[in-house]
Structure 1
Amino acid sequence: MSDPIEDEIFNQLARRDAGKSICPSEVAKVIAPERWQREMGRVRAVATGLARQGRLVITKKGKPVDPDAFKGVIRLRLPLADEGAKSGGE
């Protein structure tokens, strides 16, 4: 069974040009339009797990961040070809 948050992250990224990112709030607003703020923690947690697996990159000010040590405003994007299978550990 797939996770609806994970599905929505990848659906939104598939509609973007390569290297473009999305805001976690965009995902939360689709998942729960009336209470999207409450979903932000779950969206960030799913994104963190995906980043640890190398399937997603979490960025801050356009730079990849360590999925285990970030805070504040972030964006999500797919890994770039030159980032290899594992990314976000800077």
Structure 2
Amino acid sequence: MSVEVLRTAIMDFCRRRKKKTFCPSEVVRQLFPQDWELFMPDIREEMMQMYREGLIELTQKGNPIDPNQNPGGPVRISGLAKPK
């Protein structure tokens, strides 16, 4: 899976959703409707990289996650309120 494809898809979701959050699985379900579960590790790795770079926000139960630890359980992605 190309990193650029995932980054572009995540940023496209951020643009379309405006300030609404979304699940990383929504991104891979759109890209790979049949085999989306196979791509969850890829999307989670890329979303964490983008979060650490300050490109997106990641929350868990409404709270920002620690950028130094991979979160367990469901997370939500959103675009930045104020781009850095």
Identify unmatched segments of 5+ residues in structure 2. Answer: none
Alignment size in residue pairs = 82
CA RMSD in angstroms comes to 1.8
Match of 1:64 in 2: 64
- The SS at the match of 1:59 is strand
Q: Distance in 2 between matches of 1:25 and 1:2?
A: 16
**Structure 2 length-normalised TM:** 0.86
Identify unmatched segments of 5+ residues in structure 1. Answer: 86-90
Q: Which has the higher contact order (CA 8 A, sep 6+)?
A: 2
Moved over 4 A (4+): none
Identity level (%): 28
Q: Distance in 2 between matches of 1:75 and 1:30?
A: 16
Instruction: After TM superposition, give the deviation of residue 80 of structure 1 in Å.
Output: 2.0
Q: Distance in 2 between matches of 1:17 and 1:31?
A: 20
Instruction: After TM superposition, give the deviation of residue 68 of structure 1 in Å.
Output: 2.5
Match of 1:10 in 2: 11
Which digits, 9 at most, give the CA deviation of each residue in 1:9-64, with x for residues without a partner?
A: 1111111132x111000011122111100101100101000001011111101111
Match of 1:88 in 2: none
